[in-house]
Amino acid sequence: METRRKKNFITRRREPKRFILWLCMVGSAFLFTVLLGTYIVRKMGSDWHNVSLPRAFLASTGVIMASSLTLHITNLAFRHERFPQYRIYLGTTLFLGLLFVVLQMLGWRELMLQGVYLQTNPSSSFLFLLSGLHLVHIVIGLVFLTIAFAEAMRRIPYVESFVYSVNPPNRLKIRLYTLYWHFVDVLWLYVFLFLLLNHGL
């Protein structure tokens, strides 16, 4: 019986979109892990000079964590058919995501005003590379959140929202958007804490 369960777990058909998303997230996590490993090795070089993290990065971390909370509430509202609340919190999540992008750019501006640029030294290069690569992931997430928000705003009447919410492909789409957004939030927390320990504020 136990063998049959294990076989079913291995051989059962999986939802392809969810599987592809998981592969992409594992690939991204591996890429960042390799970069952070390279960071540790490169830090031993004589030309390494630590650059303090911009204060805006701390603020952006709080914003991205808040966006995970609002997206969690968004999902609860969607599942319980509270569609006005769903639209409000989805819009709030989208706003917080955009605010994160603005704060990251303000952080880069803060560095540049201090005379720190991409090629100033290896420390600044890694700082720009890691935060910039993560920002690409955020922008991808914002595209999907914008699509979801636009679809929600096109279905203001309860009946239209209900029909949309009970459609399995739509439910899957919302779950995948949520999974990806939580992933990029955790990814930033991982990168930020690493940089904080090595750079300080």
Decide if pLDDT at 13 tops 80: no
Q: What is the mean pLDDT of the chain?
A: 89
The Cα–Cα gap between 201 and 197 comes to 9
Q: How far apart are CA 10 and CA 23, in angstroms?
A: 16
Backbone angles phi, psi at 115, to 5 degrees: 85, 20
Which residue type, as a one-letter code, is found at position 170?
A: N
Model pTM?
0.88
pLDDT of residue 116: 87
Using an 8 Å Cβ cutoff, are 124 and 51 in contact? yes
How remote is the C-alpha of 98 from its chain's centroid?
A: 12
pLDDT, tens digit (0-9, with 9 covering 90-100), for 122-141: 888 999 999 999 999 999 99
102-123 tens-digit pLDDT: 999 999 999 999 888 887 788 8
What digits encode the pLDDT tens for the residues 25-48?
999 999 999 999 999 999 888 888
